Amino acid sequence: MKPEEMNRLIEEHIAAEKAGDTAGAVAMYTEDVEHDVVGAPHGPLHGKEAAQGFYEQLTSDIHTEEKVPTRRYYGENFCVMEHLWRGPVPGAFLGVPGNGKRISFRLLHVWEFRDGLISRENVWLDGGSVVAQLTSDAGAPVI
């Protein structure tokens, strides 16, 4: 798969997630997708339905205003992409109440592709920074 095709799928996924369109966020996944947020208590999720359930919870807990790509690395049928995420946390994130606080953090995705779709999404995030911001009286750091 060419980088342009990978980027199109990733951008459509992120746009749907940002809009709170959970069905749209998983529309570009294979039926047997593996969705793995490293460190999540539920572990890796399998299948579009499970991934959509994850996004339904996520989009009610956090509101993505910006997810700016900062680095992209491509290989055959995979892409590693770093983002800078910014937005408010009206719900709880990583078990910490957000109370609407605005935060920002770095996020790393490893995307795998098969048959023209996303077959795996592996997510790593700076949880220490998230927790520090949500428990601090200060606003979001400038990253």
* 63 within 8 A of 47, measured Cβ to Cβ: no
Give the Cα separation of 76 and 113 in Å (integer). 9
Residue 52's closest CA among 89, 13, 87? 13
What pLDDT is attached to residue 139? 54
In the chain, DSSP assigns E strands to 29-37, 45-46, 66-75, 78-89, 92-93, 96-97, 101-114, 117-125
Fold of 3-135: Nuclear Transport Factor 2; Chain: A, (3.10.450)
- Which has the higher per-residue pLDDT, 69 or 139? 69
Structure tokens at 40: 């999540």
At residue 133, does pLDDT exceed 90? Answer: yes
pLDDT tens-digit map of 31-43: 999 999 998 889 9
Backbone angles phi, psi at 81, to 5 degrees: -135, 130
**Region 8-34: what's the mean pLDDT?**
96
pTM above 0.85, yes or no: yes
Tell me the pairing of strands 78-89 and 66-75: antiparallel
**Region 21-40: what's the mean pLDDT?**
96
Residue found by looking up tokens 């919870």 in the block: 57
